[in-house]
Amino acid sequence: MGAAIGLRDDFDAAGLRRLARTTKSANQGRRLLALAEIYDGANRSDAARIGGVTLQIVRDWVVRFNARGPAGLLDGKAPGKPPLLNDIQRQALAEVVESGPIPEIHGVVRWRLIDLARWLHDEFGVSLTETTVGRELKKLGYVKLTVRPRHHAQNEYAMEAFKKIP
């Protein structure tokens, strides 16, 4: 069995207890109090009991505390799922939406989400659903616009004749 990892020399038990009182994070305060016990000479099992965790977690706290000080005991934000499109692909998507489809090349006269998903797959090999493509376009600042339906042979002048005049 190896020796326990030592704590930093630039802190002491009283200083950690002061920090625990002033912190706004309850988890950080609990961790600081557990480490303060180690500074006072208690064993790691007592620190684990005070912190309500196992010995391995106390060891992880010591490593984080030694590396970054009291800030290392704050809860970090989880990185989350990586984005499906990188910046280059997002920029290419914005350019193709701005330029519009070329019917001879793309086979469509206007972009639909399914068409853009197919274009992304053909161009970059990225498989996205229509919903995801819509979300990516929304992040890029685009909004879904639909044209009011109008018959191709509609006559504006004939419509004027049928309007009700009060």
pTM for the structure as a whole: 0.52
First and final C-alpha spacing in the chain = 98
Cβ neighbors of 149 (< 8 A, separation 6 or more) are none
Both structure tokens of 61: 């706290």
Whether pLDDT at 1 is above 60: no
Rounded CA separation 30/73 (Å): 9
pLDDT digits (tens, 9 = 90+) for 84-95: 999 999 999 999
DSSP state of 84: S
Q: Kindly report, residue by residue over 39-70, the tens digit of the pLDDT.
A: 999 999 999 998 999 999 999 999 999 999 99
Structure tokens of 126? 């990225």
